[in-house]
Every structure is written in structure tokens, then in C-alpha cells.
């Protein structure tokens, strides 16, 4: 893994974290991803990605309060770190820059 490069799935997960705001924890992220993409996303995959994001410093996490619903286990809430926000913005800008350079991109023709 090099630097703070953002993989595609990592980007999705990071965006989902951002969109969930204060409620971003693993299970909720999985559900939300499923809702957006329509594909089932496995906890195992998401968990690994969350862990990697944190390692890269793109996300931060903290343990919440314990609740009875999870057998008394606390949730780990994620939020996008400053570096994460920078990375997301850069990714978005990169895409937009490329988009801008595509003349007359037409959806009708391709599908």
C-alpha cells in the first residue's frame, strides 16, 4: 500500500462514512453501501477496508457508548479525517478534470 492513494472501494466506503455523519459504524456502513450500490457488501470486506483507511490516516475511529442491543459491546464509530477529506476532494477533482477534457461525452450512444 503506497501513501494515501485511494482505491475505488475505499473511496466508496469513505464517502459513505461521510454521508452517515455521526452514525457511521461498520454495520451501518455495510447497509448504506448496499443501499447505494445494490450489491450486497460483506462485513468482512468492509471491516478490512475500514481498518486500512484508519491505518492510512484517512479515517478516525472512536468507541461509542455500550448498548444492550449488541450484547453490551460498544460500536466503533468512524469519521473522515482531514487527510481523508483532502483525499476525497482530490479524487473528485481528478475525475472532474478528466471529465472536463472529454468532448461531447454522450450517454445515449454507449448504452
Partner 1 sequence: MKKHDPQPPGWATRFLRWYCRPRLLEDLEGDLYEYFLRNARDKGVRYARLIYCLDVIKFMRPYTIRKIELLHFLTHFMMIGSYFKTSRRNLVRNKLFSFINIVGLAVSMSVGLLVIAIVNDLLSYDDFHKNKDHIYRIITRNQPEGQSPMDFASSSARVAQRLRSDVPGIEDFTIIRNGFSGDAQVGRNIFPLEATWADESFFQILTFPLVAGDPATALKEPYSLVLTEKTALKLFGNTNIVGKTVRFDTLDYQVTGVARDVPHLSHIRFDALISYATADATFGKKGDGFYNWDNMWSNYIYVTIPKSSNIPGVQRALDQISKEENKTLLHRKITLSLQPFKDIALGGKLSNNMGPRTEPSTLWLLGGLAFVIILSACFNYTNLSVARSLRRSREVGVRKIIGARRSHVLGQFMAESVMIAFLALLFSFGLFLFLRREFFALSPEISGIFTLDLSLRSVLCFIALAAFTGLAAGFLPAVFFAKINALSVIKDASGIRIFKHIGLRRVLIVAQYALSLTFIATTLVGYSQYKGFLNFDLGFNTENILNIKLHGADATALKKELAEIPEVKQIAQSSMVTSVGTIYGFDIKYYPTGGALPADSGLVWVNTVDENYLPIHKHKLLAGSNFSLRPEKGNESELIVNQQVLKRFNIGGRDPHKALGHIIEVDGQKLTIVGVLKDFHYGTMENKIESMMFRYSKSEPRGYLNLQIASTNLENTMAKIETAWKRFDHVHPMNARFYDQQIEAAYADFSMMVKTIGFLAFLAICIASLGLFGMVVFTTETKLKEISIRKVLGASEPGLVYLLCRGFITLLAIAALIALPVTYLLFDKVLLTRFAYHQPIGLAELLGGTLVVMLLALVMIGSQTAKAARSNPAKVLKSD
Binding site for partner 1 (CB under 8 A): 25-27, 43-44, 47-48, 51-52, 63, 68-71, 73-76
- Of 48 and 94, the one with the shorter C-beta distance to partner 1 is 48
CB of 50 to partner 1, least distance (A): 10
Contact 20, 30 (CB under 8 A): no
CB of 95 to partner 1, least distance (A): 29
- Of 55 and 93, the one with the shorter C-beta distance to partner 1 is 55
CB of 91 to partner 1, least distance (A): 24
Give the integer Cα–Cα distance in Å for 39 and 78.
22
Q: Is 58 exposed, middle or buried (0-12, 13-18, 19+ CB in 10 A)?
A: buried
Q: What is the dihedral of CA 95, 88, 36, 33, to 10 degrees?
A: 140
Amino acid at each position: 500500500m503506497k501513501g494515501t492513494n485511494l482505491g475505488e472501494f475505499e473511496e466508496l466506503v469513505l464517502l459513505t462514512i461521510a454521508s452517515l455523519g455521526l452514525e457511521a459504524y461498520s454495520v451501518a456502513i455495510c447497509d448504506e453501501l448496499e443501499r447505494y450500490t445494490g450489491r450486497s457488501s460483506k462485513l468482512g470486506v468492509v471491516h478490512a477496508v475500514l481498518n486500512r483507511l484508519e491505518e492510512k490516516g484517512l479515517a478516525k475511529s472512536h468507541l461509542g457508548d455500550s448498548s444492550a442491543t449488541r450484547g453490551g459491546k460498544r460500536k466503533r464509530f468512524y469519521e473522515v479525517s482531514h487527510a481523508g477529506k483532502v483525499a476525497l476532494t482530490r479524487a473528485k477533482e481528478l475525475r472532474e478534470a478528466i471529465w472536463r477534457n472529454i468532448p461531447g461525452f454522450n450517454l445515449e450512444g454507449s448504452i
